[in-house]
């Protein structure tokens, strides 16, 4: 069969049109007609669905507000812990997904697959994330929390299932994650897979401010208090063979999130049994448990560099509580900020945009992300409610109030 010059020309023209249009990856579902190219950064959280876990990325505008952008498959499955009744906060944890600004990478747990996925972040278009290397085993069961070191070249995971404890990896921008020798350490918890909780479950893993220790929080089973497990970190990234168990201060019960108190060998830990605890790892003399009157389950926390204060979220009351910790580690409540009733405010993150801090709160009860502008100490203002239900449904992305989890941010350099 012979084709006319006009027919051949039309074929080439059609071909050039196709190649000129960016192809959407099969593992990506877009929730916007056009990605913001002038974004200040992005926030990320996970769908944590049992058949397929996805990372949802939203661009951060220069005024701190958000635009939903895309949902990218994480190459694994989500899971929900065993609890009665079942509700939001599927993993009983903070840190299910974490970004490293210095490493320009993003990592998420796949708790139903016992795996971790690493992505690269395009600093110019930070909602554009791409898998790095292979999905790797967490070397345990029910991975729930992740922590990068300050350089972004090491990552540690907290497993909370029947096989529980921590494991760490080197991070390579080409090959992805490689398990580090002498970092697989057990917590020895009597747990199940999926984990049973919230009481008695692991919660959060973080590095100390100097990177010389790795901390993992474990909730107690009333009336027995929980603990923070502390491993020493060697220069090669290996961990001490055994952990030191640090009990909560008197009155503390259920250590949940841990947020480093800058310049101090200490952390603020939310505690749904009372409000929050201050763990002083130095002398220990300044540790304290602080009651939040009327709290239901205060479980997540972040720190604002601009205001110098901490911000805690309560899943039951949907209230954000602002806390000040002074130079002597004495803590006090500054102000509280009620959000929409029934929002079930869980994971939160604070990011600096144009020299101002903004707080991003995942609210699975209303299937939204709440955005607060932190204008100064005691001065937080609600500036946006980002709807998740409509855009995800239109894009064919499944989300469930009981499964949504995590919140982390990346700000473009």
pLDDT in tens, 282-327: 988 999 999 999 999 999 999 999 999 999 999 999 999 999 999 9
pLDDT in tens, 359-406: 999 999 999 999 999 999 999 999 999 999 999 999 999 999 999 999
pLDDT score of 3: 34
Beta bridge partners of 333: 323
* Rounded-to-integer distance, Cα 312 and Cα 267, Å: 13
pLDDT in tens, 125-171: 999 999 999 999 999 999 999 999 999 999 999 999 999 999 999 99
pLDDT in tens, 345-360: 999 999 999 999 999 9
Three-state helix/strand/coil letters over 242-304: CCEEECCCCCCCCCCCEEECCCCCEEEEEECCCEEEEEECCCCCCCEEEECCCCCCEEEEEEC
Show the tokens assigned to 248. 């909560």
β-bridge pairing 244-246 and 298-303:
unpaired
Cα–Cα distances (Å) from 195 to 144, 185, 272, in that order, read: 10, 18, 18
Show the tokens assigned to 127. 């909602």
**Number of other CB atoms surrounding residue 140 within 10 Å:** 24
Q: Shortest CA distance to 348 belongs to which of 335, 357, 361?
A: 361
Which range among 22-31, 251-260, 264-273, 376-385 shows the weakest confidence by mean pLDDT?
Answer: 22-31
Quick check: 179 and 171 in contact, CB under 8 A? Answer: no
pLDDT in tens, 200-227: 999 999 999 999 999 999 999 999 999 9
- In the predicted model, is pLDDT for residue 251 greater than 90? yes
**Mean pLDDT computed over 25-45:** 92
Which range among 12-21, 79-88, 186-195, 248-257 shows the weakest confidence by mean pLDDT?
Answer: 12-21
Locus of tokens 């205060």: 298
pLDDT in tens, 222-232: 999 999 999 99
In which order are the strands placed within the sheet that holds 66-73? Answer: 28-30, 66-73, 54-60, 41-46, 405-411
pLDDT score of 337: 98
């Amino acid at each position: 069969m012979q084709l006319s010059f006009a027919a051949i020309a039309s074929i080439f023209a059609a071909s050039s049109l196709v190649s000129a249009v960016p192809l959407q990856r099969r593992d990506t579902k877009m929730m916007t007609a056009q990605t913001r190219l002038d974004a200040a950064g992005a926030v990320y959280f996970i769908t944590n669905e049992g058949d397929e876990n996805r990372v949802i990325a939203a661009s951060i505008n220069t005024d701190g507000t958000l635009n939903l952008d895309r949902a990218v498959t994480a190459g694994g499955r989500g899971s929900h812990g065993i609890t009665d009744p079942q509700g939001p906060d599927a993993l009983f944890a903070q840190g299910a997904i974490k970004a490293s600004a210095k490493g320009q990478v993003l990592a998420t747990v796949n708790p139903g697959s016992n795996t971790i996925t690493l992505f690269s972040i395009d600093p110019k278009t930070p909602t554009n994330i791409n898998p790095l290397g292979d999905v790797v085993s967490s070397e345990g069961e029910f991975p729930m929390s992740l922590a990068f070191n300050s350089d972004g070249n090491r990552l540690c995971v907290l497993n909370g299932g029947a096989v529980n404890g921590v494991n760490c990896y080197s991070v390579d921008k080409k090959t992805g994650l490689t398990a580090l020798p002498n970092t697989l350490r057990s917590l020895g918890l009597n747990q199940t897979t999926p984990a049973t909780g919230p009481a008695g479950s692991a919660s959060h893993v973080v590095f100390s401010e100097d990177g010389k220790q790795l901390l993992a929080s474990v909730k107690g089973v009333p009336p027995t208090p929980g603990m923070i497990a502390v491993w020493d970190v060697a220069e090669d990234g290996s961990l001490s063979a055994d952990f030191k168990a640090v009990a909560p201060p008197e009155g503390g019960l259920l250590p949940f999130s841990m947020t480093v108190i800058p310049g101090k060998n200490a952390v603020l830990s939310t505690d749904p049994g009372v409000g929050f605890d201050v763990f002083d790892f130095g002398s220990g003399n300044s540790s304290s448990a602080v009651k939040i009157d009327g709290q239901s389950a205060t479980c997540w926390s972040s720190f604002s560099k601009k205001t110098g204060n901490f911000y805690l979220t309560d899943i039951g009351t949907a209230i954000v509580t602002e806390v000040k910790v002074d130079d002597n580690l004495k803590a006090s409540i500054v102000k509280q900020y009620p959000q929409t009733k029934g929002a079930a405010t869980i994971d939160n993150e604070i990011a600096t945009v144009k020299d101002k801090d903004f707080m991003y709160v995942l609210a699975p009860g209303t299937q939204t992300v709440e955005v607060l502008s932190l204008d100064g100490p005691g001065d937080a203002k609600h500036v946006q409610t980002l709807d998740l239900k409509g855009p995800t449904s239109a894009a064919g992305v499944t989300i469930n109030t009981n499964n949504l989890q995590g919140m982390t941010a990346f700000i473009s350099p």
